[in-house]
Structure 1
């Protein structure tokens, strides 16, 4: 299996596990793999989830080694998620909702690390 194909499969598995984790914590999954734009201006968010009055745009990162998770998220990636959140929030958020961006980091044999409010759109 090629490296790109394996990375895509691992990414999908990570998103599925992150969705299960969120649901177990009382979140409702509103949308998955939401994209806006095209070319270099494309932005994507892995999961949009709601719990009460909080609407979270969640970036999921899966790495084969937990040590690699510390470098999985950077400002450029969060800015791309923020663009998607800003575009989709008017359609998905209710008037009194708090909108935020979260990150879930996953690696084999480690509990998911859910980092909340990493970026304010």
Structure 2
């Protein structure tokens, strides 16, 4: 897959993840937020919980278990920390989540996947 096709696939995954989150009571506060430390695909809020979410798409569901590693999570966490002042309120619970998506499968939402 070339870079532009991969980019389009990533955008579709983020859109599907946002749709799924909205159906489950989340409000999307930001999409594709880039800072010097990295990028956060989605920032979503539900009540007092603010989640920075990495969305991952794989063509085969079997590949989802290896879709995200420690290095990528560390980058997302660093970017989320830089963005936190923009989105957090006092007494918020802040976390890093991952959405795993594949064709023919419901999205899998992994909560609080990163602890510094």
Give the deviation of 1:44 after TM superposition: 0.4
Q: How does 1:100-119 map to 2 (within 5 A)?
A: 100-119=95-114
TM-score by length of 1: 0.92
Runs of 5+ unmatched residues, structure 1: none
Match of 2:43 in 1: 48
Deviations 1:73-114 (A, max 9, x none): 100000000001111112210011000000000000011000
The CA distance in 1 between the partners of 2:32 and 2:2, in whole Å, is: 21
Runs of 5+ unmatched residues, structure 2: none
The CA distance in 1 between the partners of 2:16 and 2:85, in whole Å, is: 27
Match of 2:71 in 1: 76
Deviations 1:21-79 (A, max 9, x none): 00000000000001111xxxx40010000000000000000011111111111000000
Match of 2:24 in 1: 25
The CA distance in 2 between the partners of 1:97 and 1:5, in whole Å, is: 37
TM-score by length of 2: 0.96
Q: How does 1:55-74 map to 2 (within 5 A)?
A: 55-74=50-69
Which SS does the other structure have where 2:68 is aligned? coil
More divergent stretch after superposition (24-33 vs 86-95): 86-95
